[in-house]
Structure 1
Amino acid sequence: MSYREIVTRPVLVWCAVTAGARLPVAMAPLAVVFLVRERPGGYSLGAALAAVYVIGEIVGAPLLGVRLNPVRARPALAFGCGFGALGFAGLGLAPGAHPVFLGGCAFVAGFAPAAVSGAMRALLTEMVPQRAVSQAMSLESMLVFAVWAAAPALVTGLALGVDPTLPLLLQAALMAASVAGLWALPAGWQAEPSEGGGESMTRILARAWPVYAMGAGSLTLLALAELILPALLEQRGIGIGWAGPLLAGFSIASAVGAFVYGLRSRWPGRLPVQSLVLVLSVAALVALTAVLPYTAAIGAALVLAGLLQAPAMLTRNLALREALPPSALAAGYSVMYAAVGAGYAASGSLAGGLLQVVAPSTAILCGVGLTLLLTLIGAAGERRMRRPAAAGAQAGHGGAPTAAGTPAEAVGDAGAAADGGARTP
C-alpha cells in the first residue's frame, strides 16, 4: 500500500480539518506568553496561563474522550471545537482582563477540544483500508510535526510584527473553521454495540496502561530537547541562537522518520518491542547530547533522535489500536493524549527545578532517567499481561478469547487474520 493510494479527497479534507484544529493547539502556549508579556509580571502570568491551558487539555482529554459516541461523534467534536474557539476568542479580545478571566478562557480553550485529536485519529483509520492504517497514521504524524514546526514562527511573526492579540484571534478562527469542516467528514466510525462484553469503558481503557506509561516516558524526551537545549548550549559556550535551527532539524527529521515508517505496513517484531527499542534509542541519543561538546555533534544526535522519535510515537498508537476495541479507540487515544501531556509537563517541571541546582547536562541525564523508568514500567506491564494471555490461548486451543481478557496481541492477531494478515503486528 503506497501513500498515493490513501491520499484521496476525503483524506485530504480530513487533513485540512485536522490542521485547523491542531494548529491552534500548537500555537497556544507561546501565544498566551506573547499576549501578556508587556503587563507587570507578564512572563510569569504567561507561563501560568500556558500551564492552565495544558492542565485543561490533560483533564479534558480522558473526561470527554470516554463520553464520545463512536457512531455519532460529530456533535461532540463540533461542541469541543466551538467552545475552544470561544476560549481563544476570549483571550484575544480581552488581553487586559483580570488574570482569573484569562485563566478561565485558557482552561476552556484547552479543555473543550481535548478529545478532538483522538477522535480524528479514530476517524482517519476508519476512512482507509485496514492494510493502510500504518500509512494513514504516518501521514497524520507528518502533518502534526509540520504544524508544530510552523506554529512558533507563526506566533512570533504575528505577535511581534502585527499585534499580540492576532495569534489568539487566528486560533479562534481556525478552530471555528474546523467546526464547519466536520460536516464534510463521516459522522463517526463503526463500533459493535456488544464490544467489551458489557465491561465498563474505564476497565477497558485501564488494560492498556503499559502503552500509556511508555507514551508518557517518550514525551519527556521531547520536553528535554525543547526546554533544556538553550541552557545546554550556553553551558557549552555555543551561541543560543543555534537552538532554533537544531530544534527545527529535530522536527524535520521526525517528519522524515514518520514517512519512512509508513513505507512499510509491517516491520520486524511486535509493536511493544518496536516501541521499546525505539524509545531506548531516542533516550540514548538525547543523553548523548548532554556530553557532546560541538554544535555539529549535538545537531547530528538530535537529527537521529528525531528520525526515531516519530516511529516511536507511531508504534505506541498502533499498539493502542490493537489493544482496544474500535468502540474505545477515540477514548484510548484521548487518554494517551493526556498521558503524554502529563509526561511532558512532568519533565518540564523536573527540568525547571533541576536547572536551579545542577548543570543543564546533568538535568538532561536526570530527565533521561525518568524516561527510562516510565518506559521500563510500561514494558514490564506489557510483558506481565502477555503471560496470562499466552496461558489462556494454550488452554483454549484456539477458542475465542473473552472481551474482558483480550490482550493487545490477541486483538492484533484476530484483526490480522480478519484482514488477511495485513495489519501491522
Structure 2
Amino acid sequence: MSYRALATKPVLTWAVVTTAARVPVAMAPLALVLLVRERPGGYTLGAALAAVYVVGEVVGAITLGPRMAPERARRALAGGLGVGAGAFGAVGLLPHADPVVLGAFAALAGAAPAAATGGLRALLTSLVPERAVTQALSAESILTYVLWAAAPALTTGLALGVGPHMPLLLAAVLMAAATAGLWALPAGWPADDTDRKGVSMARTLAAAWPVYVSGAAALGLLALAELVLPALLEQRGIAVGWAGPLLAGYSVASALGAYLYGLRTWPGRPETQGQVLLVAFAACVALSAAVPVLGVIAMGLLAAGLLNSWVQLARNLSLRNALPASALAAGYSVSYAAVSAGYATSATLSGVVQSVAAPSTAVLCGVGLCLVLATVSTVGERRSARRRALRSSCSASLPFRPSARPRPSDGPSA
C-alpha cells in the first residue's frame, strides 16, 4: 500500500501530537548536561542527571506501560505527559537547585511520560487499516529519526544562544501542548483482554522476550556508533570534527531506510528479517571499527544506519505478531525499556573497555556482545515458534465432545 493512505486528518493530527511529545525526550539528555555545565563539576553532574533521566524512562516504561487500559488510554497518556511537562519545567526553573532535587525532577521527567511511546504507537496502528500498518510504522520511524537528528542542534542553539534553561522550558511547553492535543485524537483503541485467553499480562509480555533482547542488541550497537566514534576517529588520526557529519549521515540513512522499508513487502517473516538484518548491522559497525580509512568508516556507518531502521521496523512488526491486541501498548513500552537498557549497558561497557584498551577494541567487544544477544534471541524465537505450532496442531486435532449433561441454558432434553 502507498504512503498516501496515511494522509488522513487523524494520522496527521497524531503526527503533530507525537512530535510535541517526543521532541522533549530527544532534547532531554543534552539539555540536562548544558543546564549545569557552568557549575563546579558541571559536566560530571550533567552526565549523572542524564543517566538518572534514562533510568527513570526505563522504570516508567516497565511499570506504567502494562497498566495502560487500551479503551481509556488517553487518560493515562495525558497524566504521564502532564506530569512530565511539570517536571521539565521545574528543572528549567531551578537550574541552581541542589543536585538531589534536580535528580529527582529529572527522574520524574523521564518516568512519567515513558509509556507515551508505546501508547501513541498503538494508537497510530488503530487509525489505519491493517494492510497499511507497515507503512504507518515506517512513517513513525522516519518522524523519529528526523526529530532525533534535529534535537541536538535545537538544544545547543537555545542553551548557548538564549540561556541554558531554555531547552528544558521549551520541552515543558511542548509536552504540555501534546497533553492538550490528545483530545483531538480518539480516547483509545478497541481491545478486549479475552484475546489473552486468561493469561496474565505479565506472562503475556514475558512470552515476547526474544523481541526485547534483539531490540536491546540493536540499540547497543547504536550506542557504540554514537558514543565511541569521536575516540575512534582520533585513534585513526582522523579529525574529530568528522564525527558530526558522519552521525548526521547515519541519521539520514536511517530515515531513508525506514522510507524504503514501507514501499514494498519484503520476503520472509519479520522475525527472520530482524535476525538476519541484525547480524548485517553488526558487521557494518565492526567494519567501521576495523578499517582505519575515513571512506570505509563512512560507508560502514551509512549502511549501518540503513540497516538499523530495518531492524527496528522488523522488531515492531514481530511484536505485533507475538502479542494480542490488548497487550500491544504494554509490549511497546517494555520494548522501549529494553532498548534503553541495551543502550545504557553498551555505553557503560564501551567506557570500561576504553579505560584499558583502544576504542576500536571497545567497538568490537560491543559487536561481540550484540552477536551473543542476537543468538539468544534467535534461539528463543525458534523455540517460541515451535511451541505455538504445537499448541495450534493440538487444538486442531482435539475431537468435539458434547457435554453428557445438559447445562441449564440448554433447555429440557428431548
TM-score (norm 1): 0.92
Q: How far did residue 386 of structure 1 move?
A: 1.6
8 Å contact from structure 1 (residues 256, 307) kept in 2: yes
The CA distance in 2 between the partners of 1:243 and 1:328, in whole Å, is 40
**Which residue does 2:298 correspond to in 1?**
299
What are the equivalent positions in structure 2 for 1:7-156 lying under 5 Å apart? 7-156=7-156
**Which residue does 1:268 correspond to in 2?**
267
Q: How far did residue 36 of structure 1 move?
A: 0.2
Q: How far did residue 197 of structure 1 move?
A: 1.8
Q: How far did residue 399 of structure 1 move?
A: 7.3
Task: Name the CA shift for 1:355/1:89 in 2 (closer, same or farther; >3 Å).
Answer: same
**Which residue does 2:319 correspond to in 1?**
320
Query: What amino acid maps onto 2:347 in structure 1?
Result: G
**Which residue does 1:214 correspond to in 2?**
214
Q: Which secondary structure does the structure 2 equivalent of 1:367 belong to?
A: helix
**Which residue does 1:250 correspond to in 2?**
250
The CA distance in 2 between the partners of 1:394 and 1:330, in whole Å, is 29
**Which residue does 2:163 correspond to in 1?**
163
Query: What amino acid maps onto 1:72 in structure 2?
Result: R
Q: Which secondary structure does the structure 2 equivalent of 1:71 belong to?
A: helix
**Which residue does 1:379 correspond to in 2?**
378
**Which residue does 1:403 correspond to in 2?**
none
Q: Over the residues paired in the alignment, what is the CA RMSD in angstroms? A: 1.1
Q: How far did residue 291 of structure 1 move?
A: 1.4
Query: What amino acid maps onto 1:326 in structure 2?
Result: A
8 Å contact from structure 1 (residues 286, 305) kept in 2: yes
Greater Cα shift, 193-202 or 60-69: 193-202
Mark the structure with the bigger radius of gyration: 2
Q: How far did residue 8 of structure 1 move?
A: 1.1
Task: Name the CA shift for 1:398/1:117 in 2 (closer, same or farther; >3 Å).
Answer: farther
**Which residue does 1:418 correspond to in 2?**
none
Greater Cα shift, 133-142 or 284-293: 284-293
Greater Cα shift, 57-66 or 4-13: 4-13
Query: What amino acid maps onto 1:120 in structure 2?
Result: L
8 Å contact from structure 2 (residues 287, 296) kept in 1: no
The CA distance in 2 between the partners of 1:83 and 1:292, in whole Å, is 47
Q: How far did residue 393 of structure 1 move?
A: 3.0
TM-score (norm 2): 0.95
Q: How far did residue 219 of structure 1 move?
A: 0.5
**Which residue does 1:332 correspond to in 2?**
331
The CA distance in 1 between the partners of 2:166 and 2:194, in whole Å, is 48
The CA distance in 1 between the partners of 2:192 and 2:162, in whole Å, is 51
Q: Does 1:183 align with 2:180?
A: no
For residues 128-158 of structure 1, give each alpha carbon's deviation from its aligned partner in whole angstroms, at most 9, with x where no partner exists: 0000000000000000000100011111111
Task: Name the CA shift for 1:391/1:200 in 2 (closer, same or farther; >3 Å).
Answer: closer
**Which residue does 2:409 correspond to in 1?**
none
The CA distance in 1 between the partners of 2:176 and 2:281, in whole Å, is 37
**Which residue does 2:390 correspond to in 1?**
391
Query: What amino acid maps onto 1:275 in structure 2?
Result: G
The CA distance in 1 between the partners of 2:336 and 2:387, in whole Å, is 28
Q: Which runs of 5+ in 2 are unaligned?
A: 400-414
Greater Cα shift, 292-301 or 83-92: 292-301
**Which residue does 1:364 correspond to in 2?**
363
Q: Which secondary structure does the structure 2 equivalent of 1:341 belong to?
A: helix
8 Å contact from structure 1 (residues 224, 351) kept in 2: yes
The CA distance in 2 between the partners of 1:391 and 1:71, in whole Å, is 33
Q: Does 1:309 align with 2:270?
A: no
Q: How far did residue 21 of structure 1 move?
A: 0.5
Greater Cα shift, 2-11 or 36-45: 2-11
The CA distance in 1 between the partners of 2:276 and 2:386, in whole Å, is 20
For residues 181-202 of structure 1, give each alpha carbon's deviation from its aligned partner in whole angstroms, at most 9, with x where no partner exists: 1000010001024221222100
The CA distance in 1 between the partners of 2:385 and 2:89, in whole Å, is 48
Q: Does 1:353 align with 2:352?
A: yes
For residues 328-371 of structure 1, give each alpha carbon's deviation from its aligned partner in whole angstroms, at most 9, with x where no partner exists: 00000000000000000000000111111000000000000111
For residues 93-124 of structure 1, give each alpha carbon's deviation from its aligned partner in whole angstroms, at most 9, with x where no partner exists: 01000001100110010000000000000000
**Count of residues paired in the alignment:** 399
8 Å contact from structure 1 (residues 393, 399) kept in 2: no
Q: How far did residue 398 of structure 1 move?
A: 7.2
Q: How far did residue 385 of structure 1 move?
A: 1.2
The CA distance in 2 between the partners of 1:337 and 1:193, in whole Å, is 22
The CA distance in 1 between the partners of 2:391 and 2:17, in whole Å, is 43
Query: What amino acid maps onto 2:7 in structure 1?
Result: V
8 Å contact from structure 1 (residues 65, 335) kept in 2: yes
8 Å contact from structure 1 (residues 159, 166) kept in 2: yes
Q: Which secondary structure does the structure 2 equivalent of 1:73 belong to?
A: helix
8 Å contact from structure 1 (residues 218, 371) kept in 2: yes
